[in-house]
Structure 1
């Protein structure tokens, strides 16, 4: 027997239990703090992660400053290119004018080499300025790459901060549902280790007023039950109480134990008085069919044989079909009957010369007492057989 909803509450981090705020049978609410782990190690990890994050933010700022400086260098290099370009154009004009004047004889020929030298020098300075501009642009691009790298490192450091914060938050264990604590598996000072599987700290049942019985149904009987079939059961703690239930599900997964195949039937049970406890063993009876207001006889009456010596006439008159032996005036008279449903203790009599109140013979007890008679019964009081 178990609660309908049972949750295992574990810890996602390893540590030492420092506080417990719930115990066996404690009523808890969703979100309530029920345990704490020692947070000192996780607080230190969070502080370290924060320091690393601040350092990476400073690196990002420094990289962004380098980008600003690199952009200024690009602008300066571009201005130098513009200046050398203007100087080259001026030298080109001077060279062309000098060459024309020399050709017309208005200027000495010795001025032409000087003009050519000035033109060549201006062209070289422009090429140098262009190379410096390209270098400045490359440095600016490298500075931007450094910013991206620093930002990525900062994001990684921020993720480490978030992870450290999450781990710190996980040192506080809260109840995931409303319910009652069924089991507590740790004590204060105990170390829990979360590796491949979270260790279970508490077991919380959601609502003990609604329970489930998991019954193993033999494969020969599983075809006789269906969802919503009526069920009754008893438990050893209350042997005189019969608890009603309803089959909510018959699971398709077979269970094989010592070559015996069974199927699990889930039985919903109302438990308003909280008599039923998780883990109790239930003795289940499933109603596969029922009849109301019928005549029944004990099953033992159908197995009765007259005691020896049996008169020959009586022996010849014994029925071969199912029968009971009616007791009247101290004499045994066989009565052939047609049987119907049985619950293993009593059997329905569908037809036969038998009525309610007739005395019938049943086998003697094992100690050898005399044959006894039991009245045939008809549960007209509303019972079901």
Structure 2
């Protein structure tokens, strides 16, 4: 009987074959039985996109009259009430005018004294001084004339041998003294005051006139009147109050012309521009919305509490005396607008590094990584300028927060 050489399989090789077959079976079973990942998705649509920046601000009048006390005093009467409309020239309040009247009288007295001093200087002295000077001048002339006669007479006697040379010399000495005295008196009458003396007198007169003008203004301000038409919106004082110079007495403004001083954080300043539309809200009237525009953009950055902000002026376009001064409001500036552009929800956009934006398109129930170009981005949506069409659908995220999206992932879109 013939013999056959039979080879036995290596046990390790047999075990590897069995394990490989088992893995293949498991993969095939899972490929036919696994469930698709459920994801939320959104269609790429055309919409109008608005990017806005909200912040806080304070209302203030554009044309405002803040009445302040010109000098310390007592309020004698208040002639208007808060909320009252006034015309230019309307009397607002009266101050006690006794102190102002006394200051005016003192200033007028100083002015008259300065005027008299300058007049005397220009005339060469006061009337008494001029009379005394004329007397001195007359006496000096008589003395000079008499001394001259004595000299002439003694010289004639000397020629006849009746007078000595010493007597003539003595008479000539007296003549020189008289002439010198006459010259001094004449100089006093014509050159008594110097140029600096006149300049000092003129300066004193100018100062006195300024003092009178200030006193007259202070007296005129005893009756405080409104220089503009508007509404009285603040009276921080009461009748018989004593107020210091510079203290606030009353505020009047045209409440149809107001503005808002708003403060924007430093990163947002570059997005602001003059003319941008603004929406204004006030908690005091939650059912009312005001509108305005940016009239002045920030010119510098300042510290505002713990924030670094830029100060922006916003003109209110539809105020009707219903937005009160000094109220705190919320303003929202529209910095960018796009009309009828492709957009997607913001959560659908992914960023890889600092340069690449992409989305996961849903194609035949699988995810496909698609690079996109973006435009305006607001809080909820993103403008798509390239990479998608209005026929595409993008994944927002898996319903199971533990599952990450990836390219080629089989998915099931759920509502």
Normalised by the length of structure 1, the TM-score is 0.66
Whole-angstrom CA distance in 1 between matches of 2:323 and 2:106? 52
1:259–1:154 distance in 2 versus 1, CA, 3 Å: closer
Structure 1 equivalent of residue 230 of structure 2: 179
1:19 corresponds to 2:70: no
Whole-angstrom CA distance in 1 between matches of 2:390 and 2:173? 134
1:343 corresponds to 2:406: no
Deviations 1:121-166 (A, max 9, x none): 6435424533542564476479768x97996798376665555434
SS at match of 2:148: helix
Shift of 1:15: 0.5
Structure 2 equivalent of residue 67 of structure 1: 130
1:335–1:276 distance in 2 versus 1, CA, 3 Å: farther
Shift of 1:199: 1.2
Structure 2 equivalent of residue 44 of structure 1: 102
Structure 2 equivalent of residue 266 of structure 1: 313
Residues 290 and 319 in structure 2, CA contact (< 8 A), matched pair in contact too: no
Residues 144 and 178 in structure 2, CA contact (< 8 A), matched pair in contact too: yes
Shift of 1:192: 0.8
Shift of 1:38: 0.6
Whole-angstrom CA distance in 2 between matches of 1:16 and 1:185? 14
Residues 81 and 133 in structure 1, CA contact (< 8 A), matched pair in contact too: yes
Listed as ranges, the matches of 1:327-366 within 5 Å are: 340-348=375-383, 352=388, 354=390
Listed as ranges, the matches of 1:121-136 within 5 Å are: 122-134=171-183, 136=185
Residues 292 and 318 in structure 2, CA contact (< 8 A), matched pair in contact too: no
Residues 362 and 372 in structure 1, CA contact (< 8 A), matched pair in contact too: no
SS at match of 1:220: helix
Structure 1 equivalent of residue 252 of structure 2: 204
1:116–1:65 distance in 2 versus 1, CA, 3 Å: same
1:81 corresponds to 2:144: yes
Normalised by the length of structure 2, the TM-score is 0.62
Deviations 1:27-73 (A, max 9, x none): 34445432221111232343355456667777877823322430342
* Match of residue 274, structure 2, among 203, 218, 227: 227
Shift of 1:347: 4.3
1:127–1:186 distance in 2 versus 1, CA, 3 Å: same
| Structure possessing the higher relative contact order (Cα contacts under 8 Å, 6 or more residues apart) | 2
Residues 269 and 298 in structure 2, CA contact (< 8 A), matched pair in contact too: no
Whole-angstrom CA distance in 2 between matches of 1:35 and 1:47? 23
1:144–1:293 distance in 2 versus 1, CA, 3 Å: closer
Structure 1 equivalent of residue 241 of structure 2: 190
Whole-angstrom CA distance in 2 between matches of 1:16 and 1:292? 63
* Match of residue 3, structure 1, among 54, 61, 64: 61
Whole-angstrom CA distance in 2 between matches of 1:363 and 1:214? 45
Residues 295 and 355 in structure 1, CA contact (< 8 A), matched pair in contact too: no
Whole-angstrom CA distance in 1 between matches of 2:179 and 2:298? 82
1:169 corresponds to 2:220: yes
Return 5+ residue gaps in structure 2 as ranges: 1-58, 350-356, 400-412
Deviations 1:349-373 (A, max 9, x none): 66656569x9x99999xxxxxx995
Deviations 1:235-282 (A, max 9, x none): 334445543322222223323356542222222221343332223333
Residues 9 and 176 in structure 1, CA contact (< 8 A), matched pair in contact too: no
Whole-angstrom CA distance in 2 between matches of 1:273 and 1:134? 84
